[in-house]
Structure 1
Amino acid sequence: MLSRSLAISFVFAIFSTTAYAENTGSVLAISTDNDLFAPTQTDRDYTAGVSITYSSNSDGFSNNVFSRATGNIDQRLLGGFFQLPLKPVSTALEFGAYGFTPEKIEAKTIDRDDRPYSSLVYISSSRSYQQPGSGAGWTTSLTVGALGLDVFKSGQNTIHKAIGSERAEGWGHQISEGGEPTLRYSAAYHQYLNASQPDRKFKVTYFGSVGYLTEFGAALVFRDGLISSPDNRFNPELMAYGERAPSVSTPGGREDYFWGGMSVKARAYNALLQGQFRDSDHELGANDLNILLAEVWAGYTHSFWAGTELSYVLRVQSSEIRSGKGNRTLAWGGLVLSKRLGAS
């Protein structure tokens, strides 16, 4: 019921703002991740995700209820300390789901030596700000959702049946089985470096979040090639597994570029491994997890016709778990198809 309410709210917010779609800053994107898209071809850890994102620089869209809620938090938490602008240069809404499995998915019993099953269904609102007269900006996001629903379980097993893969049998032991509300607020400060040129962009980002993922860190990001989308709407360093709302670029003209980066972060809490307030059949403790994590990524973006772009990214992250079978590097690939609305 909660996942249906989130979906209805997302659709209502999008359709209530379709009058602004002719603004060339409006973009609709469909994203999918899968560890099978990586060279390792595994089916474990962060196994898959799917999302749909709508972003726009129109004033009408930035006034939707989700964006206003995020803006109120931004001003309370950041405005007084960092002179955050009152008006964002762009906003985005995203609805999606993603999930995690241990290595052996055919067993119905719990493998205490591996990671637990877990999943998240969410809706996320993000806002991008530009600091006047400086080469710096902010990106914030507020995500609300539910852990432990059967949405991802059903989707994964339907796909596995269609392609003849093994059924994942352990979802009855997932984190917060049956559903538990959750949320996360994140903020990031971007410093666009002087070394940047029209065909080569560099930035450093300092970021942090509190909620089901509580962490802070820093990242170095670059793009190289034919670039037309604005820097403030290209934030691959802010992806949290399948969540991309602050990270969908806006195709303006022709684009053809490579991109990549690296980040280091200290993570204090991960509800997808540790659980939340409800007891779960299988969850890990803080002492079972690594605090310091490193991530690297590389991608390629190419535009086709009428403001349409396709991007591919490969991401590799150091192990989240200290020991046992779960102590392994995570790798997954992602595809993003985006369309600038109003383009022809």
Structure 2
Amino acid sequence: MSRRRLFQRPLRLDSLTTAAILCAHLFTPTLAAECLPGPEPAGLPIGSDGREKYNTGWSFYFDNDALTPINRDEDYTGGVAVTLAGRRAAEWAISLDPVLAAIDRLPGIGVGRGHTNCRSPFVLHSWQTGIVAFTPGDKTVAALIPGDRPYASLVYVANARNYVRTRDQPVYQTSLSVGVLGLKIARGLQNGVHRALGVEQANGWDGQIASGGEPTLRYTLARQDLLASDFQTGRTEFELKSSVAGSVGYITDASASLSIRWGRINTPWWSFPPERVEYIAEPAPVIGGNDIRPGSRELYVWGGVKLRARLYNAFLQG
């Protein structure tokens, strides 16, 4: 079944002022990577050598509107992504991590460590590849439809970094995505799924944005703050956190969100970022195998709200 997350249809505020305020909050002086007193964060995927484990896990996402019980297959119509986490995400030849690390030094957060001998930010790595696709409401028409959104697609690879400090300090997340708009693979993927399900084909892919291929990229910087928590004080716990983020590239925007989860929690508060879903979940650490309570499973519910000021979207504006 298609995943329809709370954060996928955010409220949009067409306000440069809002975007400026949120970006100013991101670039605060606390970004410096000095050693800090305080407890080491629980749940870090650390090996016996004190470094991030080479392979900390993987995740797979598949989303398609044709799988929903209602007859709606338009706008963001589907996507596929694979995320691989651990030190390998930084060391592979196809990794974007060296470029991302260099960019992160500009706002002052690209100074971290891959070991536990100091309480400056511990850096966690993840890598993702995927494809997202968008279609208008009427897919039987091959020509452009006035008043409807255009066809669009993106095939991409991305790297992400999480800078984790002490247990209760803000956590910074950055990502760099590089891809190509307008490739034919989206048409083949969507129509292949539709043939298998016996639903109508999409006929207008020849007119998609940047048809034939156009390189693009996006850089994202986000900050998470833990506002309240009773973690490890009872059989069930809650966590309330805030997040602010900004991105530049094929999607340029700023956002602020609040989220809460309650139940039996066995992963760090910063490892669950549902607000970082931009059509499909962005790359994030995979922490599930690093139990804070060994042998205990997780079961929780969550919810949240998000405000967004969007300045540019290549999937709509080209």
| Same fold, TM-score > 0.5, yes or no | yes
Query: How does the TM-score come out when normalised to structure 1?
Result: 0.67
State the match for 1:175 in structure 2. Answer: 209
Displacement of 1:104 in angstroms is 0.6
Given that residues 155 and 180 in structure 2 are in contact (C-alpha distance below 8 angstroms), is that contact kept between their aligned partners in structure 1? yes
Distance 1:218-1:157 versus aligned 2 partners, 3 A rule: same
Displacement of 1:260 in angstroms is 2.2
**Greater relative contact order (Cα 8 A, min sep 6): structure 1 or 2?**
2
- Equivalent of 2:62 in 32, 53, 59: 32
Distance 1:234-1:117 versus aligned 2 partners, 3 A rule: same
Structure 2 residue 246 is the aligned partner of structure 1 residue 218? no
- Matching residue's letter, 2:216: T
Displacement of 1:89 in angstroms is 3.1
- Equivalent of 1:97 in 131, 135, 149: 131
Given that residues 56 and 289 in structure 2 are in contact (C-alpha distance below 8 angstroms), is that contact kept between their aligned partners in structure 1? no
- Matching residue's letter, 1:170: G
1:28-52 CA deviation, whole Å, 9 max, x = no partner?
1111122345564411110100000
Q: Distance in 2 between matches of 1:247 and 1:133?
A: 16
Displacement of 1:231 in angstroms is 2.3
Displacement of 1:151 in angstroms is 1.1
- Matching residue's letter, 1:176: A
Distance 1:270-1:189 versus aligned 2 partners, 3 A rule: same
- Matching residue's letter, 2:260: F
1:138-166 CA deviation, whole Å, 9 max, x = no partner?
00000000000011110000111111111
Given that residues 44 and 102 in structure 1 are in contact (C-alpha distance below 8 angstroms), is that contact kept between their aligned partners in structure 2? yes
Q: Distance in 2 between matches of 1:107 and 1:179?
A: 22
State the match for 2:226 in structure 1. Answer: 192
Secondary structure class of the residue paired with 2:187? helix
Structure 2 residue 75 is the aligned partner of structure 1 residue 45? yes
Structure 2 residue 116 is the aligned partner of structure 1 residue 86? no
- Equivalent of 2:314 in 256, 271, 275: 271
| Structure with the largest fraction of helix | 1
Q: Distance in 1 between matches of 2:262 and 2:67?
A: 23
Secondary structure class of the residue paired with 1:193? strand
1:62-116 CA deviation, whole Å, 9 max, x = no partner?
344422221111112x21xxx5642343110000001000111011121111000
State the match for 2:267 in structure 1. Answer: 229
For structure 1, the residue ranges without an aligned partner over 5 or more in a row are: 1-21, 276-344
- Matching residue's letter, 1:90: L
Secondary structure class of the residue paired with 2:306? strand
Structure 2 residue 162 is the aligned partner of structure 1 residue 128? yes
Given that residues 97 and 119 in structure 1 are in contact (C-alpha distance below 8 angstroms), is that contact kept between their aligned partners in structure 2? yes
Q: Distance in 1 between matches of 2:286 and 2:53?
A: 16
State the match for 1:291 in structure 2. Answer: none
- Which residues in structure 2 correspond to 1:106-145 (within 5 Å)? 106-132=140-166, 134-145=168-179
Q: Distance in 2 between matches of 1:146 and 1:243?
A: 18
Structure 2 residue 189 is the aligned partner of structure 1 residue 155? yes
Give the percent of matched residue pairs that are identical in Structure 1 and Structure 2. Answer: 37
Secondary structure class of the residue paired with 1:161? helix
Distance 1:194-1:46 versus aligned 2 partners, 3 A rule: same
Distance 1:193-1:38 versus aligned 2 partners, 3 A rule: farther
Secondary structure class of the residue paired with 1:229? coil
Given that residues 34 and 48 in structure 1 are in contact (C-alpha distance below 8 angstroms), is that contact kept between their aligned partners in structure 2? yes
Q: Distance in 1 between matches of 2:171 and 2:240?
A: 13
247-256 vs 85-94, which moves further: 247-256
Q: Distance in 2 between matches of 1:107 and 1:243?
A: 30
Secondary structure class of the residue paired with 2:217? strand
233-242 vs 160-169, which moves further: 233-242
Distance 1:53-1:177 versus aligned 2 partners, 3 A rule: same
Given that residues 66 and 194 in structure 2 are in contact (C-alpha distance below 8 angstroms), is that contact kept between their aligned partners in structure 1? no
